[in-house]
Amino acid sequence: MKPISIHDFLWNPSQFSAKAICVVYGKDPFLKSHAVRTLRAQVLSEEDAEFSLTRFEGNSIEFIDLLKEVNTLVMFGGGRRFVMIEEADPFVTKYRSELEEYAEKPSEQAVLLLLLELFPSNTRLFKSIIETGLVIEATSLPEKEIPKWIVRWSKHHHKTICDPDAAEMIFQRIGAEHGLLDQELAKLALMVAPKEKITTALVEKTVGSWRLQSTFEMLDLALAGQTAAAIRQLDQLLLSGETAVGILAQIAATLRKLAAATQLIIDAEKYGKKISLTTALKQTGVLPYHIVKTEKQLKMLGRYRGAKLLNWLLQADLDLKGASRNDPRIILETLIIQIADPRLRIL
C-alpha cells in the first residue's frame, strides 16, 4: 500500500476516515494544518472538542504519558479522544519499538495523530500503520501543477470559479506557496458576485497590492529587532481589512527559509563541517537578489530563534485555526515578539 496524497485527502476527506493511528508527514505546514483540521472534525464533535483533544510536543512527551491519554475515557458523549503529537520525529525515534507494539493493538477509544516531517517506508512502523491506519503524505505539488491546483482549490474550498488564465497570473505573482495562494483566493472569492468568476482583470487589480508589501515591511521590521514598529505595522494591516491568517501565510515562506538555512548550518556542524550563510540560503531557495538582505536578517535572528521558527509558525497556524481562544491579533503579536525580541538573540 502507498500513502494517501494530501491533495486526494483534502479533495474527498469523506473517503478517508480517521483510524486509530494516523500519520501526516511532510514539510508543508499549510497542507498539514488542513489535514489536522479535517481529521479533528471527523473525530470530535463541537460539544466535546475541547474536552477530548490533547496535544503533545514530540520532544517532551514520554510514552507512558501517551498511553495514559489514549486509554482515558472521554468525559462527555460516546466519542473518541483525539491525541495529537506535534513534531513527532524525535518521539518516534525514541519510542519506535513501543509504537510498533502499540500499532498492533491500538486503543479503540482514541485516535492518535503523529505529525512528522519524515516517515520512511522501509520501517516496520510504517508498514504496520499503513496496513491498518491512515498515512497521509503532505507534500507540495510541482510548480507546473500549481495553476491547476489554484483552479480546483478555488472551486472546492472557496466555492468560486477561477479562470485558468487568472490562476496562472496568481501563480506568477504569488508563487507556489499553498498557504499564501489560499489566502489570495479567499480574498478574491469575496470580491466576485455570485455565479461570476475570478478573472485576469480582477487579479491584475488586486493581487500583489500595497497590503502584501506592507506585510513584508512588517516582517523586515521584526527581523531587524524593531518590535514596536513591527506591531504598529501589524495593527495597520489588520485595520485595513487584512486577516491574521492571510498575514501569517504571507510571511511563512520567508520564515521557513530562514529556519531551513539555520538547520543546514546546525546539521553541517554536527558532522564537523562548515557551511556559509550564503550557501545555506541559496540551498533553501532564497533568490540571488535577496541574499544580502536575508543574510543580515539571519545574523540578527541568531541560531536559537532560527531553530525555533518552525515550532512558532506551526503553533501560530494551529492557534489561528481554532486551537486557541486568544484574539488573532494577540497570536500574531506573540509571533512578532518571538522573532524580534533581542533577549532571545542567543548565538
Higher-confidence residue of 333 and 176: namely 333
Fold exhibited by the domain 143-208: Helicase, Ruva Protein; domain 3 (1.10.8)
Identity at 312, one-letter amino acid code: W
Is the pLDDT at 22 greater than 80? The verdict is yes
The predicted pLDDT at position 285 comes to 78
User: Across all residues in the chain, what is the average pLDDT?
Assistant: 88
**Could you tell me if 146 and 176 are in contact, meaning their C-beta atoms sit under 8 angstroms apart?**
yes
Mean pLDDT of 54-58: 89
The predicted pLDDT at position 49 comes to 58
Is the pLDDT at 210 greater than 60? The verdict is no
The predicted pLDDT at position 52 comes to 80
**Same fold: 4-137 with 143-208:** no
Identity at 329, one-letter amino acid code: R
Mean pLDDT of 232-250: 86
Residue indicated by cell numbers 535577496: 290
- Joined together, the cell numbers standing for residue 209 give 497590492
Q: Using CA of residue 339, residue 264, residue 5, residue 70, what is the dihedral sign?
A: negative
Q: Using CA of residue 298, residue 300, residue 303, residue 308, what is the dihedral sign?
A: negative
Mean pLDDT of 279-289: 80
pLDDT tens digits for range 156-188: 989 999 999 999 888 877 878 888 899 889 889
Q: Which CA distances in Å does 86 have to 61, 113, 213?
A: 10, 8, 32
Mean pLDDT of 312-339: 92
Identity at 21, one-letter amino acid code: I
The predicted pLDDT at position 211 comes to 62
**Could you tell me if 34 and 148 are in contact, meaning their C-beta atoms sit under 8 angstroms apart?**
no
What span, in angstroms and rounded, lies between the C-alpha atoms of 37 and 32?
A: 9
DSSP type of residue 83: E
The predicted pLDDT at position 47 comes to 56
Write out the E strands in the chain. 4-5, 21-25, 53-57, 81-86, 110-116, 134-137, 161-162, 197-198
Least confident residue range of 3-17, 80-94, 235-249: 235-249
The predicted pLDDT at position 53 comes to 86
pLDDT tens digits for range 101-142: 999 999 988 999 999 999 999 999 999 999 999 999 999 888
Mean pLDDT of 86-99: 95
Residue indicated by cell numbers 471527523: 42
Mean pLDDT of 258-268: 92
Is the pLDDT at 347 greater than 50? The verdict is no
pTM above 0.85, yes or no: no
Residue 113 backbone dihedrals phi, psi, to 5 degrees: -115, 120
DSSP string, 237-290: HHHTT--HHHHHHHHHHHHHHHHHHHHHHHHHHHTT----HHHHHHHTT--GGG
What three-state secondary structure class fits 32?
Answer: helix
Least confident residue range of 115-124, 152-161, 269-278, 330-339: 269-278
**Could you tell me if 215 and 275 are in contact, meaning their C-beta atoms sit under 8 angstroms apart?**
no
* Percentage of the chain lying above the pLDDT 90 cut: 52
What span, in angstroms and rounded, lies between the C-alpha atoms of 218 and 211?
A: 10
Strands 4-5 and 134-137: parallel
Question: Where are the chain's structural domains?
Answer: 4-137, 143-208, 212-341
**Could you tell me if 63 and 98 are in contact, meaning their C-beta atoms sit under 8 angstroms apart?**
yes
In CATH, the architecture of 4-137 is: 3-Layer(aba) Sandwich (3.40)
Mean pLDDT of 224-229: 92
- Joined together, the cell numbers standing for residue 144 give 507546473
The predicted pLDDT at position 209 comes to 56
CATH of 212-341, one of 1.20.140.10, 1.20.272.10, 1.10.1060.10, 3.40.50.300: 1.20.272.10
Is the pLDDT at 153 greater than 50? The verdict is yes
